[in-house]
């Protein structure tokens, strides 16, 4: 039996070793922090944004098909927007890093306060890493309220979506507060509060606009 499973575990070990080497090669310390930040923000925005969209549609008393299409459209548009925003933002940060790096290597460059802290090529951020993580994490976050509202009976749409949003925001807040010197309850409460305010505003807007259309 051991000889049967040995090739499997050996293959898994080699795969994990290769993955670790790839990560060490392409994701260095500052880039890993930047990717983690993009992932947490992307998931948070995905949860809150799509929850707000579908709850606004619930307030307008739209059909299941319309709800699903609205949620999917918001999910894809939001993920693209988040990825694009991360790419532009991190590209701007990288431009500053490159300017600083080039200034350090330029002969007779006058030393200023701006260039006193040295930067190395390994510290450069990668915009594609942040954009990709933001895109994927937004989709993962957005699919939670979308599934909750799509799989719920009409009478339970609002309740189930709010519960799913609160649970997802709690998990995301717990991950973001890991090893941080901030009370976890405070981070969770803040996250859920932002989600609830967004849900309230969009639901009320949907109710008002839906009533006017009707």
**Average pLDDT over every residue of 144-161:** 88
**Stretch 185-213: mean pLDDT:** 86
The answer on pLDDT for 111 being more than 70 is no
Q: Assign 10 a pLDDT band (cuts: 50, 70, 90).
A: low
The pLDDT value recorded for residue 38 is: 86
What is the Cα–Cα distance from 167 to 209, expressed in whole angstroms?
A: 29
DSSP 67-107: HHHHHHHHHHHHHHHHHHHHHHHHHHHHHHHHHHHHHHHST
Q: What pLDDT is stored for residue 194 in this prediction? A: 93
Going by pLDDT thresholds of 50, 70 and 90, the confidence category of residue 12 is very low
- Tens of pLDDT, residue by residue over 122-146, are 677 888 888 998 999 999 999 999 9
Per the model's pLDDT, the better-predicted residue between 97 and 28 turns out to be 97
Range with the poorest average pLDDT among 13-22, 56-65, 124-133, 197-206: 13-22
Average pLDDT over residues 55-68: 83
Whole-number pLDDT of residue 46: 92
Backbone angles phi, psi at 111, to 5 degrees: -80, 125
DSSP letter for each residue of 5-33: HHHHHHHHHHHHHHHHHHHHHH--HHHHH
Q: In whole angstroms, give the CA distance from residue 212 to residue 214.
A: 5
Tokens describing residue 179: 């090893």
Residue 5: predicted pLDDT: 42
Cβ atoms of residues 136 and 38 within 8 Å? no
Mean of the pLDDT values across residues 200-206?
A: 90
Q: What is the pLDDT of residue 15?
A: 47
* Residue whose structure tokens are 């990668």: 126
The whole-angstrom separation of Cα 176 and Cα 39 is 10
Q: In the prediction, which pLDDT does 19 show?
A: 41
Q: How confident is the model at residue 8 (pLDDT cuts 50, 70, 90)?
A: very low
Residue 16 has pLDDT above 90, yes or no: no
Give me the percent of the chain exceeding a pLDDT of 70.
74
What percent of the chain shows pLDDT beyond 90?
28
CB atoms within 10 A of CB 196: 16
Buried-exposed string 153-188: b where 16+ CB fall within 10 A, e elsewhere: eeeebbebbbebbbebbbbbbeebbeeeeeeeeebb
pTM for this model (two decimals): 0.77
33 vs 2, higher pLDDT: 33
The CA distance from 178 to 148, in Å, is 27
pLDDT value of position 100: 79
């Amino acid at each position: 039996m051991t000889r049967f499973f040995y090739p499997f575990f050996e293959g898994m070990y080699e795969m994990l070793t290769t993955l670790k080497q790839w990560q060490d090669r392409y994701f260095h310390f500052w880039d890993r922090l930047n990717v983690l930040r993009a992932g947490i923000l992307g998931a948070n925005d995905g949860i809150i944004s799509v929850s707000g969209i579908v709850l606004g549609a619930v307030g307008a008393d739209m059909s299941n098909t319309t709800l699903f299409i609205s949620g999917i459209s918001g999910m894809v548009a939001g993920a693209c927007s988040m990825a694009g925003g991360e790419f532009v933002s991190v590209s701007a940060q990288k431009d500053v890093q490159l300017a600083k790096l080039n200034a350090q290597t330029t002969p007779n460059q006058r030393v200023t306060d701006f260039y006193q802290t040295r930067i190395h090529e390994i510290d450069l951020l990668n915009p594609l890493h942040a954009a990709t993580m933001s895109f994927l994490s937004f989709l993962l976050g957005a699919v939670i309220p979308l599934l909750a509202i799509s799989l719920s009976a009409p009478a339970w749409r609002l309740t189930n979506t709010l519960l799913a949003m609160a649970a997802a925001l709690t998990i995301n807040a717990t991950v973001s507060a890991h090893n941080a010197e901030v009370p976890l309850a405070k981070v969770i409460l803040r996250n859920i509060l932002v989600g609830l305010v967004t849900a309230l505003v969009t639901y009320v807007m949907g109710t008002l606009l839906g009533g006017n259309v009707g």
